[in-house]
Amino acid sequence: MLAYFDDKKEKISSYLKDFLAEKGAGFSKINSLGKDVCDRIYDFAIQGKMIRGGLVSLGFTLSRNGHFPKAGPQTMIEAGSAVEMFQSALLIHDDIMDRDQVRRGFGSVFYQYAQMAERAGIPDAYHLGESLGICAGDIAYFLAFEVLSRLEVSPLILRKIQKLVSRELAYVGIAQMQDIYWGASNRSVSDEEVLRLYLYKTGRYTFSLPLMIGGHLAEQSEQTLTLLEKIGEYMGIIFQLKDDEIGLFGDQGEIGKPIGSDIREGKKTLYYGYLQKRASTEDLTRLAYLIGNPDINEQDVQYLRDLVVRLGIYEEVQNLIRDLADKARSLIPWLPGFKFEEREVMLKLLDYSLVRTR
């Protein structure tokens, strides 16, 4: 399964290298920051596994049923490259909002700029880094839409894809606003609200969006697109639940960012909701001190780990993940694609989602 996505990553990385070099050469006529930002976007993008970009090709193959659409293999790579640049833009901005100085074991983009400003002796270098990071994320968005505009498809298919992407990214923005607001407030949230946040902040754009782009490129029916969308939703919520798990129980060296960042930021995860319902009065008092406290230490994180396990919360979340996986697995055989190998890739990706550690 990983070999499939490794192949797509290599091709997407190659496309992005050439595309961003082309854009950087043009931007360099404006100022030196133009080429620099393209280089940083490229370096940032290739640090990821590029699963989202690969899902475009997978969605295309899984939904084809003998029809021969205009889009070819290179179009899949180009569309996947756009998806990966959207992903980079989201993460660049996310690191600013979460004040995360490390991403994938490297300095986050805004922090790179802050360090650059500090070396230049510029006052308030951190704020300047954030400002330049916002610009870098914006540029990644705009360039991603340019990549989409170059797709060799019919005008109708291109309009459908652009409308889909714009809608899903707007959903991400709205859900992100809610996530930030919840993190700053003491408002209690229901399990349903948390799962809906997961669906629109992460789930749909991580899986449903690239799969549906592939379906559109294959010129498939609304029925097939809906099937891809639903499978993506199940897998996307699993993805976010595993992210929560890794953020609390993972290894800092493996995931490339500090463990417990969700706690420090006061994120209203499903773990948080369950703790609010089940913890004793004494534990709730300590939780009120820890959640949203940027100065918690390793012992505090271990206390939360132990509490989540002791109260049965860890196992309950695992049961939810398994239930979602069963629902996704039951739908995959209904996809009209005739290549058995690609169905196996999808099933193995689902299995990998259940056990990933970063």
> What CATH code is carried by the domain that includes residue 217?
1.10.600.10
Structure tokens at 295: 């100065």
- The pLDDT assigned to 342 comes to 85
Q: What is the pLDDT of residues 123-164, one digit of tens each?
A: 999 999 999 999 999 999 999 999 999 999 999 999 999 999
Cα separation, 301 vs 213, in Å, equals 40
Question: Would you tell me how many other CB atoms lie within 10 Å of the CB of residue 32?
Answer: 9
Cα separation, 34 vs 28, in Å, equals 5
**Percent above pLDDT 70 for the chain:** 97
pTM of the model: 0.94
- The pLDDT assigned to 266 comes to 84
Cα separation, 237 vs 58, in Å, equals 19
- Burial degree of 68 (CB within 10 A; 0-12, 13-18, 19+): exposed
Cα angle 321, 353, 222; round to 5 = 85
Contacts of 52 (CB under 8 A, 6+ apart): 80, 83, 84, 87, 205, 206, 207, 209, 210
Q: Count the domains in the chain.
A: 1
- The pLDDT assigned to 37 comes to 98
- Is pLDDT of 298 > 70? yes
129: region left, alpha or beta (phi > 0 left; psi from -120 to 50 alpha): alpha
Q: Which domain holds residue 8?
A: 2-355
Of 288 and 171, which is predicted with more confidence? Answer: 171
- The pLDDT assigned to 250 comes to 85
Structure tokens at 282: 């004494």
- Is pLDDT of 338 > 70? no
Cα separation, 287 vs 272, in Å, equals 9
Cβ distance 80 to 49 under 8 Å? Answer: no
- The pLDDT assigned to 262 comes to 83
Of 262 and 252, which is predicted with more confidence? Answer: 262
107 DSSP assignment: E
204 DSSP assignment: I
- The pLDDT assigned to 2 comes to 81
- Is pLDDT of 255 > 70? no
